[in-house]
Structure 1
Amino acid sequence: MNNALFSLFICFCLLSPTAFSEQTIDNLINQDKLTISLTVNESEQQIVGQALVVSIEVATNRWFATGTRVQSFTLTDVVMQTNNITTINGSKRVKGQSWATQTHEITLYPTLAGSYLLPEIKVDVSVNTENDGIISGVLMTQEAGFTINLPEALIGIDNFIVSPEVSLSIDGQFDSDNPYSIGEAITQTITITASNTPAMMIPEVNLTNISKANEKITEGISIYHKPAKVFDKSNRGTLSGSRVESFTYIFEKPGDYVLAEQILYWWNSQTNTLETLQIPASSWRVSDKGFINQHSFTNGLRGLDFTLTTLLIIALFFVALALLYVIFIKRKQLVTLYKKISQQEQRQLRQQFLSNIARKEYLLATQTLYQYSMTLDKPTETKSYQLTKRLHKLAFQNDQNKDSSLTFSIEDAQLLIKQVADNTASNVKESNFPFKSAIHLNKK
């Protein structure tokens, strides 16, 4: 009897080799209790820069214990966002039985045309089985290939946006009718928004191509380009990316200037056509009101009535000699008077102050501001302005107490200069930071 039972036991083990072995993820696959599949969701015309979604579905006839997780992987010439995987829980019917599913959608942005091979991707799986409890392991997807095209219309274009809809807005326009003064500044902000496209795929804008008299210049205009702001939004599952570029132009020399237009190329993925957005060219004039208009002066001389008698000409000659003599004797006083009337020193200090702020040289900016307030006989009022206090904190903070949230923009600088000139700032309590001590420290 015992021998018969032992024989039955041996036969059972031979017929069922996994009866007393530990159940694994591979066993569940072999027993058709667990499946994994990968699908490349290509568009009819998948092009460079267009989103490509890869779907990985894991399904079980039971349910997932701790879910599934796609392990990280890399692919050459493909951009992947940090959080580029969307997981969807669901169910499906398999041979009349309800199975639980988890689908991971991975968004890729190929940057070059050609054929790609998606490698095997590892997926962590944990399944709650009927008889063996929780079983965990790693599954592998199969390799998959896809092809990325570059339409003929895009050949030779380095930067473009792929999206069904793109918008462009421009804030801050140059005034071509009214001349600017040296030291003034204009800020222009460009905002580009694209649907179904992350902000990282929107190319940067370069508004620095400025020319003077049809020649590209490297001086006369200082340009401060703020770091671009890029952010994504999702509205009911629809992604839209935005890129904000800001340029501040500080006028340093007189002349006629032109900022060249810029064309943004946009591939409309809905109509499969190339479209363009235009940032129009801008032109403006910078004048120095302190300069004498020599041309007008010469024309005035030509308009003299040369029919005057010789006596009148001689009289004018002696008057001119007398004036030249007075100018020579009083030249220092006249130069001082000219500078005061034309506010030359104030204009130069305003320009220097704005340039220091643009270069974030806050210590030099505080010195220039003090010198500017001295020319207006307002050093006492200046130190009580809130903007002045903020500037002092930036100028005299050290690495130990540095406040990274503290900023001082060109707009703040322009407002502070206007407050000092107009004396319109609201009265506030004097700062604990001694202004004169700060200037004394700067002179060391």
Structure 2
Amino acid sequence: MNRRLTAVLSAFEALLIVAIGIAVPLSVLTLQWALQFGFQIDWVVFWRAAVIIWMLGHGVDVTFQLDPQTALALDVLGVGEPFLVSIALTGFTLAMALAGVAVGRRLRHEPHRIVGELVALATVVLLSTVLLLTVSGVPGVLPSRWQAVLFPALILGLGIAIGSIGATNPARVRLRRMIAEGPQPWLAAGGAALRAGLGTVATVAAIAALLTAAALLAGYGQVIALYESVQAGVLGGIALTVAQLAFLPTLVVWTSAWLVGPGFAVGAGSTVSPIAVTLGPLPAVPVLGALPTEPSPLGFLTLLVPVLAAFAAGIAVRPRLAAAAASAGVEGGALRLWSLGVGTVSAVIAGAAMGFLAFVAAGAAGPGRLAVVGPDPLAVGLWMLTETLIGASLGLLAGGARLPRPLASAASR
């Protein structure tokens, strides 16, 4: 495609991505406007609510100030004062990142790839600015302006960067040539560490997803009881379900933090971890009915999950490390030090990645004690680093990290 067509298609694709993101909450809210409120309220109110939900879905901090009558009716400590909501509805975040991956994959072999990517990002920035203007000046709602303008584009840009891996433009070709001419043993060792670290995080997240599903099934009765206590009606129940689905990736990260050890909080002073559970008053959100009320019967043995995941990752990348060591002439005690070095780097990568996920899944969810919700990113990162260091190093050292027989015979020649 020529430059103009690439730019037009990228702009249209970005417009479609933003429109679909807004349409998800807006469709549910519009049904409520028509069927539950009988068209008696200005539809603009629901449009603004959909925009605020979309912003929250992309990590934008929003400060709320309820009117005195509503605050008095809720009778919640601190609800009469301005309060911050900073915890993201990560379903929107994940959808935007995946859309960026699709854009990056489509453009990666185009001759004007950079133009297409820049136009897509600029379009999202422009649309985000327009959406911000539609909610500016609304009483009781104050989103962070710079976050509202930049965060959606940054998330899309991250996806585009991932999707564009393998692009064939001259700059990428030169970069691959430089890598090919670089110190291959060190590059291979670095690649092994990266695979081991990210593989460990991915394994823990996959197990956490299964545990989250199991917890929802086990707590089905409590979840239904909370739905009934809310008395939101059919449309309100649908809206509540959609909101909880948008929050589902956050719950998976919370479960990951639980597996790693530090666990998470659902309000100031609370903790949910394998060895201790302290829950105070909780909001009537049905999905919270799946929270454990007792420590894990396995106790500290639960921490073996990330250790074993790291051990498996270490074993998986050991052949690559052995090949790199053989090409560098590393053997014996030096090979063991090499393995420990790769294990250490993989632990740093895993700790940083899990800490970042914990950071995304934490924040303020309301007034009072709900100002502290989610895992502690620093604690989760440090625990993950320690567990990965133990597991990955053992996996890399397992069996003495012997060279495969063909490599050993070739090295002896």
- Relative contact order higher in (CA < 8 Å, ≥ 6 apart): 2
Higher strand content, 1 or 2: 1
Question: Which of these two proteins has the greater Rg computed from alpha carbons?
Answer: 1
